[in-house]
Amino acid sequence: MIGTIYRCEICRTESATPVRWFVIQCSDVRLQVWKWTSAEADRAGALHFCGEAHAQVYISRWFESFCGAPKLKNPH
């Protein structure tokens, strides 16, 4: 079985065996944070984060705008 490589949306760290990563599913009106499960990580639209700090970066951006543009330039 070929493992999927996951990449953090913030720092681009890659891992085939993420540990203590987080998955975020969001729309413009809702954001859900999941502890890492491969079922959620593989779901369409899932975003992957290498740890709590980077999940929080994304959540902060979401508060400022909305989901749907994961390639957002960081204005800071």
CA dihedral 62, 64, 69, 72 (to 10 degrees): -110
**What are 31's strand-pairing partners?**
26
**Those residues with Cβ within 8 angstroms of residue 30's Cβ, 6 or more apart along the chain or in another chain:** none
Measured from the CB atom, is 5 or 11 closer to Zn ion?
Answer: 11
Measured from the CB atom, is 11 or 37 closer to Zn ion?
Answer: 11
One of 23, 26, 50, 67 touching Zn ion (CB under 5 A): 50
Measured from the CB atom, is 50 or 67 closer to Zn ion?
Answer: 50
Q: Are 54 and 74 in contact (CB under 8 A)?
A: no
Residue 54 touching Zn ion (CB under 5 A): yes
Residue 47 touching Zn ion (CB under 5 A): no
Footprint on this chain of Zn ion (rule: CB under 5 A): 8, 10-11, 13, 50, 54
